[in-house]
Amino acid sequence: MARTTDLTLAAGRYALDEALGRGGMAVVHLAHDRQLDRPVAVKILDESLAADEEYGRRFRREATTAARFSHPNVVQVYDFGAEDERLYIVMEFVDGIALDDLIRRDGPLPLARVLELADQACRGLQYAHEQGVVHRDVKPGNLLVRRDDILKMADFGIARAGEEATQLTSAGTVLGTASYLAPEQAAGEPVTNRADLYALGAVLYELLTGTPPRKIETLAQLASIAEEPIEPIRDRAPNVPEHVEATIMRCLARNPEYRPASAAELAASLAGEPTEQTRVHRTSTAATRVLRARRRAWAGRRALVVAFVAVLVLLAVVTGVVVLAGRGESGDGLPEHAVPRVEPVPAASDPARQARNLADWLRENAG
């Protein structure tokens, strides 16, 4: 491997190469493990944060949490250390692409591929949850896809054991990326594994449509639009099967109790298999249909109102033409007894009936 830096760690064991990426608190380098002769990824805490105890604890927690995991869909942690006041984590090198880069490059993905990636993500999450750990930062940038299409879940930096999964810091600071945060997590409330399922649902929504369900850049923005309904997936991607749409929309429910109970259940529901919440699944499908029908009905009512106004304008124009034409033929106008009496348009209680009444009136009086 060609070296681009002269930096080493652990007494020369890890020879650092190019930077693979940089986040808010660390930079990740490609490196070579000279002892085991293999490529690795080395995550180094930013020097400006090294003296901050909170960030130091979070960095150590990521290492100790992920180091005890051994699963094909979770990035493996090999080593942890400190050198010259620099904290670092040595991890499995994933030769591939993060989902956020994949979406930027390719846009919406084919359904079959999304379902395969979803199944792998569910397997990784189910494993973490069975270890009592809530990831709490599931987003496209933390889901890496190798060249052989194996998905790896990374960055357990803000993960917590179930009993500790409340506010993310003592100050109640909410971390993660706002577009993928469950409402209860954004509010700094206690979270469970279902917060991860919300986030994964948001990721799957984006993979199928090309955009997240809500594109949010700040938590203030999240709070301001939290009550607005999410546009159904099939309105953006009509070829998505109804059961897939309903399952993902369940993940995005504001109430955690309405979401799938586990990542395993989510995977089964996406595959169309019956689950313990089949009834909820059917209810969710029906609710999505109702939402779509209401949106279409409202659009129809708006169109009807526009047509009603157009008819009124037409009526005014026709009436004016008739009056002017009558005056033109008689010079000074017809005598009062010679002007035919025109009945008013019958009233109606709804716009549709009123429009029909106007049409009938025009046929009878504008000929």
Q: 54 falls in which pLDDT band (50, 70, 90)? A: confident
Is the model's pTM score more than 0.75?
no
What's the pLDDT score for residue 326? 53
Determine whether 137 is an active site residue.
yes
Q: Which of 137, 148, 332, 360 is catalytic?
A: 137
- Residue that is written with structure tokens 């927690």 in the block: 61
Does CATH number 3.40.30.10 belong to domain 96-276?
no
- pLDDT of 177-194, one tens digit each? 788 999 888 888 889 999
- How many angstroms separate the Cα of 131 from the Cα of each of 69, 71, 73, 252, 262? 8, 11, 14, 24, 13
Q: How high is the mean pLDDT of the chain?
A: 80
- Please give the radius of gyration of the chain, using alpha carbons only, rounded to the nearest integer: 31
Q: 58 falls in which pLDDT band (50, 70, 90)? A: confident
Q: How large is the average pLDDT for residues 115-138?
A: 96
Q: Which helix (H) or strand (E) holds 354?
A: helix 351-365
Whether pLDDT at 29 is above 60: yes
Whether pLDDT at 311 is above 50: no
The pair of structure tokens assigned to 104 is 């930027």
Q: Kindly list the domain boundaries of the chain, sorted by start residue.
A: 8-92, 96-276, 305-365
Q: Do the two domains 8-92 and 96-276 of this chain adopt the same fold?
A: no
- pLDDT of 59-71, one tens digit each? 888 888 888 899 9
Mean pLDDT check: name the lowest of 27-31, 266-270, 320-324.
Answer: 320-324
Task: Starting at the earlier edge strand, list the strands of the sheet with 151-153.
Answer: 96-98, 143-146, 151-153
- Span 8-92 CATH architecture: 2-Layer Sandwich (3.30)
Q: Which residues contact 123 (CB under 8 A, 6 or more apart)?
A: 71, 72, 73, 263, 267
Q: 330 falls in which pLDDT band (50, 70, 90)? A: very low
Give the CB-side neighbour count of residue 140, counting CA atoms within 13 A: 24
What's the pLDDT score for residue 354? 67
What's the pLDDT score for residue 254? 92
Between 34 and 6, the more confident residue is 34
Q: How far apart are CA 273 and CA 78, in angstroms?
A: 37
Q: 94 falls in which pLDDT band (50, 70, 90)? A: very high
